[in-house]
Structure 1
Amino acid sequence: MEQAYNFDTVSQYNDFNNHETLHPLVSIVDFSKADKRKGSRMTFGLYCIFLKEIHCGDLKYGCSHYDYEKGTLVFISPGQVIDVENKVDYYQPIGYGLVFHPDLVKGTSLAKALNEYHFFSYQTNEALHLSEKERKIVFDCFSHIQNELSQSVDKHSKKLIASNIELFLNYCERFYDRQFITRENANKGILEKFEELLNTYFVSEKPYTVGLPSVAYFADELHLSANYFGDLIKKETGKSAQEYIQGKIIDIAKDKIFGGTKTISEIAYELGFKYPQHFNRLFKNRVGYTPNEYRNLN
């Protein structure tokens, strides 16, 4: 039976990894100091970013595995549960991590910005793969944070540490943008599959049984987290995933309105709308005319 651990404080996680606690709310962890360990389940009440240095265990979130190899970053937010699976009985973790408690950033600019870093809720096959140059930048950021942790705590400490973490996360955002570009072929395959799923959805019974398709539905079908999927679609098309779905709904609606004799209410129900007035509102906002006005114009 796998061991289960719950980490609600930085000191708990430091103790687990044989690491000294220099600050109660933040730490840079060197995993080579940790004891060899078996597979386990870990629940975090902390923000964690792990940089893996060797292949020494697979991370699993829910039913799927992280795309987690040497030189990758994985982001974990409070409340997430991670399974560590290993092909051997014991393994020696090697790498580094930044862990910080949510209380660290309260009252700082980073507190407002954290929700904008979508990669904290990326889930499966979505780790950040670093180039050697990017890896050096990560170590430089960790070094700046560690240097600040080594200083005596004063009234400037919290602001400076939070600022350095925010700088690091901004770099990670840039690195993910690069990864979306360098994985363009794989991304186009996802976009093609998304288009296929959209088309299949509207010729099935799902609009009647499920209703309007959601971003979360297609992300789940493609085995991606909703945020990663949404960011990928935005990078590839310039539109949000929701805008892309609505565009498809409008295109199908136009064909039905122009080429058939069904009432607007019947068309709305066929598309998955529970109430025809919601369909009328969306159509007017996107096209500039109500469905009936569009029918009469054409």
Structure 2
Amino acid sequence: MKLIPQYDPENFRAATQADSPDVENRESGDFFIVELSVQKKQLQMPFLPHRLTVNDFVFVNSGEMVKTVCSDSYSISQSTLMILPPYKIRTIEKFSDNIDGYYCNFPDELLSRDKGFKNLQEILSYLDIKNDHRITVNDETKENLMNLLKRMKELYQQDNISLIASYLQTFLAEIKSVIQGLPPISLTANETTAFHFRKAVTQYINSVHSIQKYADILHVSPNHLNKSVKTATGKTASSIIGETLTMEAKSLLSNTGLSISDIAYSLGIEDPSYFTRFFKKHTGISPNQYRKMIDLSY
């Protein structure tokens, strides 16, 4: 069972009410680009937790938007890019009134295997280790990126997929050059443990909820895991587990018709009453109250 609603590009366009009626006839297929000012008008905020089957990014030229990725909230402001790989849980929280920039999603297959795909993987790897998917660029690079994005938007409207691919690869090469100019990331022992812990939580959250079991997965003691995570992130290991599980629960409550009991079971919680207590502890309201709140807002 997929615990977070998952969109392929066509379904995501439909969910965001984006694009023209003839979108299914496009050769550009899984590529999509739109101005953030347009997306702001099309989306109801917050846009609920979801996953995508493709890579996506936002580049903010001016203004601000707020996104939650997994359990962490990020402000994306002027001259800042946020790029995410497929299947990361993300939520769009809000846009400022003066937002300007672009949203884009694209599949790996659009990139050449020798350069474009390699550049993408190096960018994503750097940001994963950094534990922050944002990159802020200088004015010259911002102008270059905006020109590339404007051209990709024009080519998208013309359905010229071959030139789109070329401009996208140039865009990623620009981002890679920015990263190459940044200091290399050197993780401490605590940060390394926290990095692997976060990845394990993302992978096993629907079945593993105890610090002891995550410690076993990482081959460390629970005490060492707790101290390392707290030192590196400022959060306890249990709070990260709780935040991630709550995000999964919110998504199921807002995007599926599953009963509360079925949601609890799908998250690896055998006692629905415990799930209700857990959810209320972390959100202040019961699962049913949350579901009603979402229904009213949408």
Say which SS state the counterpart of residue 24 (structure 1) adopts: coil
Within 5 Å, give how 1:81-92 maps onto structure 2.
Answer: 81-86=89-94
Q: Identify the match of residue 176 of structure 1 among 174, 179, 184.
A: 179
In the TM superposition, what is the alpha-carbon distance from 1:174 to its structure 2 partner? 1.4
2:32 pairs with 1:24:
no
- Output the CA distance in 2 between the equivalents of 1:108 and 1:148: 23
Residues 37 and 99, structure 2, Cα contact 8 Å, conserved in 1: yes
Say which SS state the counterpart of residue 144 (structure 1) adopts: helix
Determine the structure 2 residue equivalent to 1:110: 116
Residues 59 and 82, structure 1, Cα contact 8 Å, conserved in 2: yes
In the TM superposition, what is the alpha-carbon distance from 1:134 to its structure 2 partner? 1.2
In the TM superposition, what is the alpha-carbon distance from 1:98 to its structure 2 partner? 2.1
- Output the CA distance in 1 between the equivalents of 2:14 and 2:98: 16
Q: 1:116 to 1:66 in 2, by over 3 A?
A: same
Q: 1:37 to 1:143 in 2, by over 3 A?
A: same
Determine the structure 1 residue equivalent to 2:101: 95
- Output the CA distance in 1 between the equivalents of 2:133 and 2:229: 13
Q: 1:10 to 1:75 in 2, by over 3 A?
A: farther
- Could you tell which deviates more after superposition, 63-72 or 161-170? 63-72
Amino acid at match of 1:174: S
Residues 30 and 97, structure 1, Cα contact 8 Å, conserved in 2: yes
Question: For 1:106-140, what per-residue CA distance to the aligned partner results, in whole angstroms no more than 9, with x for missing partners?
Answer: 77753455433325646744410122111111112
In the TM superposition, what is the alpha-carbon distance from 1:152 to its structure 2 partner? 5.7
Say which SS state the counterpart of residue 83 (structure 2) adopts: strand
Q: 1:30 to 1:119 in 2, by over 3 A?
A: farther
Query: TM-score when scaled to structure 2?
Result: 0.51
Give the number of the structure whose alpha-carbon radius of gyration is greater: 1
- Output the CA distance in 2 between the equivalents of 1:127 and 1:152: 29
2:78 pairs with 1:70:
yes
State the percentage of identical aligned residues.
12
Residues 8 and 46, structure 1, Cα contact 8 Å, conserved in 2: yes
Residues 10 and 99, structure 1, Cα contact 8 Å, conserved in 2: no
Structure 1, unpaired ranges of 5+: 182-186, 199-207, 225-298
Residues 61 and 123, structure 1, Cα contact 8 Å, conserved in 2: no
Count of aligned pairs? 194
Determine the structure 2 residue equivalent to 1:146: 153
Query: TM-score when scaled to structure 1?
Result: 0.51
Q: 1:14 to 1:99 in 2, by over 3 A?
A: farther
Within 5 Å, give how 1:81-230 maps onto structure 2.
Answer: 81-86=89-94, 94-105=100-111, 110-111=116-117, 113-117=119-123, 118-119=125-126, 121=128, 124-151=131-158, 153=160, 157-158=161-162, 160-180=163-183, 194=188, 211=219, 222-223=232-233
Amino acid at match of 1:95: G
Determine the structure 1 residue equivalent to 2:8: 8
Structure 2, unpaired ranges of 5+: 193-214, 235-298
- Output the CA distance in 1 between the equivalents of 2:166 and 2:233: 34
